[in-house]
Amino acid sequence: MSYYISLLFNGLVSGGFVALMSLGMSIIFGMMRIVNFMHGSLYMLGAIIAYFLGFYFGASIWIGMLAASILVGVLGAILERTLIRRLYGLDLAYILILTTGLSLFLEDTVRNFYSVTSSAPFLVPQVLKGAVNLGFIVYPKYRLFVVVVSILLCLGTWFALERTRLGALVRAASERPSLLKCFGGNVPLLISGSFFFACALAGLAGALSAPMRNVSPYMGQEMINIVFAVVVAGGMGSIAGSVVMGFASGILQALMAIVYPQASTVIIYVLMLVILVVRPGGIFSGVDISQFPLHYTPMTERVRAFFLSRPAAMVALAVGFLLPWFVYPILATDIILWGLFAVGFDLLFAYAGLLSFGQAAYWGTAAYVMGVLAMTFGAPTWLAFIAGVAISTTLGLFFGLILARKKGIYFSMITFAISAIIAFVVNQFADYTGGEDGLHGLSRGTLFGMDLQNDRVYYHVCMAIVILVIFFLCRLLKSPYGLSLLGARENERRMMSVGYNVFFLRLKAYVLSAFIVSTAGALYALNHQFVTLEMVNWRASGEPVMMTLLGGAGTIFGPVLGAGIVVVMRNALSSITDNGSLYLGLLFITVILFARRGILGESLHNILDRQQNTSPHNGSDGKTAGNHSEPVHSSKEAADVD
Amino acid sequence: MLKITNLDSFYGESHVLQGIDLNVEAGEVVTLIGRNGAGKTTTLKSIIGDIPRRTGSIVFNNAEIINATSEQICKMGVGLVPDDRGIFSTLSVYENLTIGRPVGPQAWPLSRVYELFPVLKDRNAQKASSLSGGEQQMLAIARPLYMGSTFLLLDEPSEGLAPVIIDAIGSAIQQIKAAGLTVLLVEQNLPFATEVADRHYLLENGRIVREMSNSEVATEEESLLAHLGV
């Protein structure tokens, strides 16, 4: 019995960390409608600070907690004031890239100075050492301390928000910032203050975890995934929801560890998926995000027309043929296949308005199905390839039926959960998939007498497929279907009122995207002649998001260019420096801040749009700092003025 | 008390107010009338500083406020009652009422606010979103009083309310006037406007086209209504 109780307590301990983190994420989202993807890095930073202070200066956990929360809080507030503030009111994707960029930057910087992986038991002072007998259970004092501290902090935060004047101001500022200003509220200060507090909580959670968890520069990554799922399942922006779900996730994981240990990491995603399907807004009602339009900086009609034109296709074709002369063929193939992956993602993102965090589900599934058929069942490569793409696309149809009705961050989260579950399944059937080792020794075989084992031949075959897909896509986007898809992105209700079935439009786009991504994934696996877990990893889902925004969303060739930049940079940087991800992080930050249309999109915008239209069009976009109610107001006024 | 000269305001590219001139003396109740989209609400928003791009001159109590922020303007004594009443729905009635700190000696103590609107005292702890429309309007008017505003910007306080409630709001405005406050009122309801106000400005396409007295509004009510389209 006491074994089970202590497991439950362990659940409360890890739930406490998650709750503190989710609480901060939730405050930030409620206040600024920002999903802070660097929250995990702040947690890591808190742990590192505590570790460092304890190791070199013999500081106790008290000093560690204090220093970590203040330093991390101040860092968060500085980043908010200087960078994040510029993105208020913009599409989630930009925030994802900026905060991910910051995350990469922080993690790599820390790794430069400190890359040991160990816990910091020396932080625990004498009072908290040993165990305490609670009557029904003997439990380590420090763990109990963690539970008590996290519960107290959550209750304290709830009290401060719901029962004090400061809390009322914070709530007012998150509801109608511009109105609060008319009553003398200092909204920018409230925002920075909330950011400080939320980041300080993350730092404190990190410090608190240092004595019992492995402190490493990457410890935030797993944390952020769980926290993200918890915040969404709890109801975005709901304080109570995030805390309750935080503790629940810990307990649930602890229970799973008894029943079915392998699934304890994936259970939270399953839970989130179930919650979002049954109760689309999360268990507690959070901030109403349907009222909150996310602005995205689209291509102008002129730029879009250019990308769908013949000269653009000619240039791309020429680059495609020249590519294997500049980089070795396997890398060239990598570029165009990642590019195809990104194009598939971009179809959903820029044209259907759906930000998917989980396209790796299809990238990986196609590769694995093909691999398993070829390796275990000895199917010929071409058959395995077709079957892989077909099965993976069918899977896309199945999930699409659930997903096409969702929008915004809920769509993104469900895609994320789906890919996490697929990754889990792949890992679970290690007998077939090779588990951690993956599947090695795939053969590319031959096609119409061509020896595909030749890298150069294989590149050209892949290129032919990529050209075919892009050609088809260009035609499709010019067709009535493409235009109605864009229409649904611009104004869903209007499209419905003129008789379009928006659900069906989106479902088609989703399945098509799954098909493109599956094709790319299977080809990619053949290129390297192996399949590994990395292909279903969440990071693989993040890649096309970055590539697309880097090159230019909605520009067809932009995502391929973005893929080229990322792949070549990774490759080149890894031979020059250890700090590849640091530079990549900086690149993302720069692009999001200065070239929101992406490299290709922004340069063409400058060339094509500026000469026609001298008035600065985007003068006002992105300047709605914290004005959540503003868009609603101004559109009403604008309608009045007409 | 308030003197606006040549005020231009913009929403992005659109030029909404085009050279507004008006003035309001201390203790007056002045209305802005005009059809939808004439720029009435925009004028109020420009005064409180909620329009990012505005040029010209707005002098309040001998201070130029055209470049001031909403916070500064509010602390100088300008109080806003927005057209949608601007209730913070997640806050309680009491929290809404006291969201602005009392500034200056003009601030009404809570007891006096409750005297004017007793219902707010009874509903003190309730979520403000659970109030009826009329009660929300009272709360919206009470807020700047508690804050000590000397100059109220009222945006269509009678909109969407039952006649009996409109009467209550009207008498509240008269009591506020009697207490020495100045009011700039946006109103489409002409009988209501003539009942509470001293003078009227007629707005058309972002310009003031006429200044009217109560009797002028009363005699020309028919044609004005036709013009306003209400």
Chain B residues within 8 A of A637 when measuring between CB atoms: 11, 16, 41-42
Can you say how many angstroms the Cα of residue A464 is from the centroid of all Cα atoms in its chain?
31
Residue B210 contacts A, CB cutoff 8 Å:
no
A6 DSSP β-pair partners: none
Q: How far is B185 from chain A (nearest CA, A)?
A: 17
What is the ipTM for the molecules in this complex?
Answer: 0.92
The string of DSSP codes covering chain B is -EEEEEEEEEETTEEEEEEEEEEE-TT-EEEEE--TTSSHHHHHHHHHT--SEEEEEEEETTEE-TT--HHHHHHTTEEEE-TTTT--TTSBHHHHHTSSPP-STTPPPHHHHHHH-HHHHHTTTSBGGGS-HHHHHHHHHHHHHHHT-SEEEEE-TTTT--HHHHHHHHHHHHHHHHTT-EEEEE-S-HHHHHHH-SEEEEEETTEEEEEEEHHHHHHTHHHHHHHHT-
Residue A175 contacts B, CB cutoff 8 Å:
yes
> What are the tens digits of pLDDT across the range A178-217?
899 999 889 999 999 999 999 999 999 999 999 998 898 8
* Euclidean distance between CA atoms A587 and A61, whole angstroms: 37
pLDDT of residue A403: 85
- Amino acid identity at A33: R
Tell if the CB–CB gap between A183 and B74 is shorter than 8 Å: yes
Q: Report the residue from A184, A637, A641 with minimal CB separation from B74.
A: A184
The string of DSSP codes covering B80-139 is EE-TTTT--TTSBHHHHHTSSPP-STTPPPHHHHHHH-HHHHHTTTSBGGGS-HHHHHHH
B10 DSSP β-pair partners: B15, B53
Mean residue pLDDT across chain A? 84
* Euclidean distance between CA atoms A486 and A183, whole angstroms: 41
* Euclidean distance between CA atoms B185 and B188, whole angstroms: 10
Chain B residues within 8 A of A184 when measuring between CB atoms: 71, 74-75, 100-101, 103, 147
Tell if the CB–CB gap between A185 and B48 is shorter than 8 Å: no
| Helix and strand element counts for chain A (H, E) | 28, 6
Residue written as tokens 């980041």?
A199
Whether A410 and A237 have beta carbons less than 8 Å apart is answered as no
Reference B39, options B228, B206, B187, B229; nearest CA is B206
Chain B residues within 8 A of A185 when measuring between CB atoms: 71, 99-100
Chain B residues within 8 A of A626 when measuring between CB atoms: none
DSSP assignment letter at A215: B
Q: How does residue A486 score in pLDDT terms, banded at 50, 70 and 90? A: confident
Q: Report the residue from B36, B49, B88 with minimal CB separation from A175.
A: B88
**Which conformational region is residue A268 in: left (phi greater than 0), alpha (psi within -120 to 50 degrees), or beta?**
alpha
Tell if the CB–CB gap between A184 and B69 is shorter than 8 Å: no
Q: Report the residue from B13, B36, B100 with minimal CB separation from A183.
A: B100
Least confident of A4-8, A395-399, B108-112: A4-8
Could you give the count of Cα atoms lying within 13 Å of A78 in the half-sphere of its Cβ? 8
> What are the tens digits of pLDDT across the range A231-288?
888 887 888 889 999 999 999 988 888 888 878 778 888 888 888 788 777 777 666 5
Reference A119, options A206, A57, A59; nearest CA is A206
Which is more confident, A259 or A342?
A342
pLDDT of residue A287: 63
- Amino acid identity at A112: N
Per-residue pLDDT of chain B (230 residues; tens, 9 = 90+): 899 999 999 987 788 999 999 999 999 999 999 888 889 999 999 999 988 889 999 999 999 999 999 999 999 999 999 988 889 988 999 999 999 999 878 899 999 999 999 999 999 899 999 999 999 999 999 999 999 999 999 999 998 899 999 999 999 999 999 999 999 999 888 889 998 999 999 999 899 999 999 999 888 888 888 888 76
Q: How far is A505 from chain B (nearest CA, A)?
A: 33
CB neighbours of A271 closer than 8 A, spacing ≥ 6?
A229, A233, A249, A252
Most trustworthy range by pLDDT among A88-92, A397-401, A433-437: A397-401
Q: Using CB atoms within 10 Å of the CB of residue A633, give its burial: 0 to 12 exposed, 13 to 18 middle, 19+ buried.
A: buried
Tell if the CB–CB gap between B16 and A637 is shorter than 8 Å: yes
Residue A630 contacts B, CB cutoff 8 Å:
no
Residue written as tokens 């609107």?
B117
E runs forming strands in A273-331: none
Q: Report the residue from B37, B91, B100 with minimal CB separation from A641.
A: B37
Whether A474 and A322 have beta carbons less than 8 Å apart is answered as no
Strand B182-186, strand B78-81: pairing: unpaired
For the cut 70, the answer to whether the pLDDT of residue A618 exceeds it is no
* Euclidean distance between CA atoms A330 and A529, whole angstroms: 11
> What are the tens digits of pLDDT across the range A70-82?
999 999 999 999 9
- The answer as to CATH 3.40.50.300 being correct for domain B2-228 is yes
CB neighbours of A378 closer than 8 A, spacing ≥ 6?
none
> What are the tens digits of pLDDT across the range A408-421?
777 888 888 888 88
Q: Using CB atoms within 10 Å of the CB of residue A494, give its burial: 0 to 12 exposed, 13 to 18 middle, 19+ buried.
A: exposed
Tell if the CB–CB gap between A186 and B71 is shorter than 8 Å: yes
Reference B201, options B2, B9, B10, B23; nearest CA is B23
Q: Is the whole-model pTM more than 0.80?
A: yes
Residue of A nearest to B78 (CA): A182
pLDDT of residue A142: 92
Residue B123 contacts A, CB cutoff 8 Å:
no
Can you say how many angstroms the Cα of residue B103 is from the centroid of all Cα atoms in its chain?
19
* Euclidean distance between CA atoms A162 and A184, whole angstroms: 20
Q: Give me the phi and psi of B156, to 5 degrees please.
A: 45, 65
For the cut 50, the answer to whether the pLDDT of residue A619 exceeds it is no
Residues for chain A: how many in total?
A: 642
Q: How far is B215 from chain A (nearest CA, A)?
A: 29
Can you say how many angstroms the Cα of residue A106 is from the centroid of all Cα atoms in its chain?
17
Instruction: Tally Cβ neighbours within 10 Å of residue A642.
Output: 8
Chain A residues within 8 A of B101 when measuring between CB atoms: 184
Instruction: Tally Cβ neighbours within 10 Å of residue B118.
Output: 11
Residue A213 three-state SS: coil
Domains and CATH numbers, chain A: 2-283 (1.10.3470), 303-612 (1.10.3470)
**Tokens at A148, concatenated:** 């008590």
Residue B13 contacts A, CB cutoff 8 Å:
yes
* Euclidean distance between CA atoms A530 and A364, whole angstroms: 11
B23 DSSP β-pair partners: B3
Whether A44 and A218 have beta carbons less than 8 Å apart is answered as yes
